[in-house]
Amino acid sequence: MRTVELLPDGVTDRAVREAWRHLAEAGLPSQAGHPHPTNRPHLTLAAGEALPDAVRARLAEALGLLPVRIRLEGLVRFPGRRHVLAWAVRPDAVLLRLHEEVWRALAGAPGVGRMNPLHAPGRWVPHITLGRGRRGAWDRPDAELLPAPLRGPLWGRLVGARSYDSATRTTEPLLPGGHRRP
């Protein structure tokens, strides 16, 4: 799978990493313990089987809406094979538009293949992952899972974009204008 992910500014990145540290220090599953070099705070917009060059111009056009403001507020829990604890991103109209344009750029485009339906407009739950673990890992009240300074709404910005390739476990920057860094 290939993702399209948005990356936060430095202040927001540090806040998410502080939440990761808080969970780890409490002995809870946390992304702080994920050692892979591609591990960093991000917001996934879409995922498909491939990211062909033919869709990159449309994708770059959509990413031209960056930077966008975000509000991190509250925690969400996703059940599944691996349970996920995440910081909820409360989307505004600009983020929803950006998400929809990225989805449209990829959906049905030749070579993209099957897309993750959980990212489809209307189903997408914007979030930044804090940890993955077994059932019951985060049975504590939300107030105990975030450090006090991060419990209220936190405003930040999404300023960059990348794609993660799950087959090679590498990332590639996605920049407005269709340019790719080597």
pLDDT tens, position by position, for the chain (182 residues)? 999 999 999 999 999 999 999 999 999 999 999 989 899 999 999 999 999 988 988 898 999 999 999 999 999 999 888 899 999 999 999 999 999 999 999 997 899 999 999 999 999 999 999 999 887 778 888 888 999 889 889 999 999 999 999 999 999 999 753 333 33
Q: Compute the radius of gyration of the chain from its Cα atoms.
A: 16
Superfamily of domain 2-169: Cyclic phosphodiesterase (3.90.1140.10)
In contact, 94 and 68? CB cutoff 8 Å: yes
The per-residue pLDDT for range 68-118, each reduced to its tens digit, is: 999 999 999 998 888 999 999 999 999 999 999 999 999 978 999 999 999
Residue with tokens 């983020």: 95
Determine phi and psi for 63, rounding to 5 degrees: -70, -10
- Measured CA to CA, the distance from residue 88 to residue 71 in angstroms comes to 8
